[in-house]
Amino acid sequence: MVAFTKILKKFDKVSCQKASANYLKEVKRSHFVSSDKVVRLMDEVESIFTTHFANNDRKKAMKFLRPQQHKDSHMVTFLVGLSTGCFVSLFSVYAILAHLCGIFSATNEPAYMETVYPVFSVFALLSLHLFLYGCNLFMWKNTRINYNFIFEFSPSTALKHRDAFLISTTLMTTVIGAMVVHLLLRAADFSPAQIDAIPGVLLLFFIALLICPFDIFYRPTRYCFIRVIRNIICSPFYKVLLVDFFMADQLTSQIPLLRHLETSGCHIFSRVFKTHHPEVCHSGRLYMEITYIISFLPYFWRALQCVRRWFDDGDVNHLANMGKYVSAMVAAGARVTYSRQHDHLWFAIVLITSVVATIYQLYWDFIKDWGFLNPNSINPWLRDDLILKNKSIYYMSMAVNVVLRVTWVETIMHFKIGRVQSRLLDFVLAALEVIRRGHWNFYRLENEHLNNVGHYRAVKTVPLPFRETDSD
């Protein structure tokens, strides 16, 4: 694949044309890119070389077989370890300084929780999601799930699991470092109005880095992310690809992050333009209207994708899938309203809508997305084709998914706890939903790899270019 890419790049340069993109599409459809058998043969060659030419020292063998990859993987592993060590050290320093500065005292607590906490929560949830995506990449690679082919990623620029871990740890290390600087300046009696701008500056920095046109910090991945977000926002006007719906599903699990962005953006604009008081960012009609919109948008975009797929394919299952997201929108709106109006009527509405939405979601998770609960399967209540050898993992994963799907119960119980404890509990629940989504991702792509359930590929399996032969 690398050879073809370099040949076509040279061809474009010499002929002053831009034909490589069309040719690479044909190359990516070829058997040596998508075939699992080719991968197994590669493993056999490596095993033979390791046994006969490297004295069973796989590390030594890899230096000969994959010298550049071996070097790069060690460098990235070192950077991940370095970033993780910095993160742990800075977090320990932050915890000590927060205690010494009395940041959670009765006088400092409201201002800190309203201005600083939302921004740092955004980065924490994003970092967790990136870490879990790295775990997904690691598991997909080890279980031979061809995620690059399924997502239509370029193998030369697609993120590896070490890259995802590096981005995650670097992001959180930077954020924790900013939190430590914020506490040090607060302890030095700097003006709160000045130092509370640090989280906003950090947020603007990362937004600028995301759209940076220079070829630094994974530009192909950043631009791919922006392109996918554009496709999601304009869902009815673009044909839905697998990566588009997959990213839209990730957004449905990051509604708390989007609401923190709402609060952070409101505080930044109120300080810069001085158009209103910061109190407006937590109450008032406009705040509630934006909260409703943010709670609906990810589900709304996903529902529009289902409508577009129904329009393209004519499959009524897409309309049934749309019904799942509509029920989730109704339940989310009811919970937002109940958080402001604590009466028996809204309690009953929240309970009914949330139970219906949860049952709908669990049905779609297990039967449609994961392909489980098949009573006629050779693997009881699972599906015929499985990648993991230990079947008990699938049963435990189903139980975990059920538990994490009903965490909304906390929102209607209204525990009598303080502001800090309440925010911490909300953050933990948001993190659990992100963990559930990372857990869901693996089985969804496993089912797509084995059964082409989304019908994004023309055929379920790719025929191999050589005749099947029996082997010992």
Span 258-307, pLDDT tens digits = 988 888 777 777 766 666 566 667 666 777 788 889 999 999 999 999 99
Q: What is the pLDDT of residue 297?
A: 94
Asked whether 12 and 6 are in contact (CB, 8 A), the reply is no
What's at 17, amino acid-wise?
Q
Tell me the average pLDDT across 346-370.
Answer: 94
Q: What is the pLDDT of residue 208?
A: 93
Distance CA 193, CA 180 (A): 17
Closest of 180, 168, 187, 166 to residue 89, by C-alpha: 180
Q: What is the pLDDT of residue 463?
A: 34
- Name the pTM for this structure: 0.78
Please state, in angstroms and as integers, the Cα–Cα distance from residue 51 to each residue in 16, 67, 84, 197, following that order: 47, 18, 35, 60
Tell me the average pLDDT across 361-365.
Answer: 96
Q: Which class for 41: exposed (0-12), middle (13-18), buried (19 or more C-beta within 10 A)? A: exposed
pLDDT at 222 exceeding the cut of 80:
yes
Q: What is the pLDDT of residues 399-423, one digit of tens each?
A: 999 999 999 888 788 777 777 778 8
Distance CA 141, CA 146 (A): 7
pLDDT at 98 exceeding the cut of 80:
no
Q: What is the pLDDT of residue 382?
A: 92
Closest of 297, 463, 331, 321 to residue 409, by C-alpha: 331
Confidence of residue 65 (pLDDT cuts 50, 70, 90): low
The two structure tokens encoding residue 84: 């993780």
Q: What is the pLDDT of residues 11-21, one digit of tens each?
A: 888 888 888 88
Residues with Cβ within 8 Å of 404's Cβ and at least 6 positions away in sequence, in order, are 432, 433, 435, 436, 439
Distance CA 332, CA 172 (A): 29
Confidence of residue 97 (pLDDT cuts 50, 70, 90): low
| Of the listed ranges 11-20, 30-39, 153-162, 383-392, the one predicted with least confidence | 30-39
Q: What is the pLDDT of residue 68?
A: 47
Q: What is the pLDDT of residue 79?
A: 54
Between these two residues, 373 and 342, which has the higher pLDDT value?
A: 373
| Mean pLDDT of all residues belonging to the chain | 82
